[in-house]
Structure 1
Amino acid sequence: MGQYIVHSKLRNIGAQVDQQTGQHRFISDEPISGHGTDAGPNPVQYLLSSIGGCLAITANDVARKNDELELKKFDVKTSGTTTNFQDGGSAVTKIKVHVELETNLSDSDQKVFMSRVLKGCTVHNTLKNAVPIELTIN
């Protein structure tokens, strides 16, 4: 079990948010059309990239544990559709993940490999199971 902490701090520049986790710093922003400065990906883009990144890292981990598996290519393209609701809210209502996979495995073994990747992908499992979010305000 692991615990991750990300500190997000709104800047006074467009819609920029400074993010820090451990030694890593990055910026979230919105495009200029969304009243941002386009200095970084928006939060939905980070969400989608976290799926692709987690799948690729997990695929690498699964492949390293199998000496006979040659993982030649594992490219992920993730797209998301957002919906704006009448009450002013919005949500990602559809996510599509396309994996370009090239290995030395048979088709049936590639399916087994991908099932192991999906089972081990924390981000995929979190989104699939719609984890509850606990919010506190000080």
Structure 2
Amino acid sequence: MSKTTILRASIGRDTYKTTLQTDDHQLIGDEPPSSGGTNLGPDPYEFILAGLATCTAATVRMYADRKAWDLEKVELNLSLQVEKLSGTKITHIQREIQFSGNLDAEQTQRLLEIAEKCPVHRLLTHDVKIVTTLL
């Protein structure tokens, strides 16, 4: 098994404002006013998209750097929609990627393939088991 990532979260009486703590960073998550929150930070779905976007961009950047390709910039637009169909839910994530730089069609296609291999993409597209216990 690879590195274990640990995150601590706590919520008090502030409607839905949640403090998130990793080893090195503190973040705030919240819900929008339409859900009763105060919009002081990204909502949970935005955090999922942020993780996928960050991982995708970094994975593509690392690959291009190793190949010494002239990749100037990676830009991503992501959206998430949950569709309810006859008692089940299907989550649709749309990821649009734009590569800037002096790249030929073959390099661009390869970077698109590499984007599909980022660790968070794999996590979201494979079986995930969540075990919940009391502290």
Normalising by the residue count of structure 1, what TM-score does the alignment of the two structures yield? 0.86
Q: How does 1:52-67 map to 2 (within 5 A)?
A: 52-67=53-68
Indicate how the Cα distance of structure 1 residues 74 and 19 shifts in structure 2: closer, same or farther if over 3 A, else same: same
Aligned to 1:128: 125
Aligned to 2:74: 74
Q: Is the 8 A contact 2:79 2:95 kept in 1?
A: yes
Question: Please, which runs of 5 or more residues in structure 2 have no aligned partner?
Answer: none
Aligned to 1:50: 51
Q: Report the secondary structure of 2:78's partner residue.
A: strand
Please report how far the alpha carbon of residue 70 of structure 1 lies from its aligned counterpart in structure 2 after TM superposition.
0.7
Paired residue type of 2:126: N
Q: Report the secondary structure of 2:67's partner residue.
A: coil
Normalising by the residue count of structure 2, what TM-score does the alignment of the two structures yield? 0.88
- Counterpart Cα distance in 1 of 2:94 and 2:15: 30
Q: Is the 8 A contact 1:76 1:98 kept in 2?
A: yes
- Counterpart Cα distance in 2 of 1:86 and 1:12: 36
- Counterpart Cα distance in 2 of 1:26 and 1:137: 23
Poorly superposed stretches of 4+, deviation over 3 Å: 83-87
Please report how far the alpha carbon of residue 75 of structure 1 lies from its aligned counterpart in structure 2 after TM superposition.
0.2
Question: Please, which runs of 5 or more residues in structure 1 have no aligned partner?
Answer: none
For these two proteins, the number of residue pairs brought into alignment is 134
Paired residue type of 1:53: T
CA RMSD of aligned residues (A): 2.1
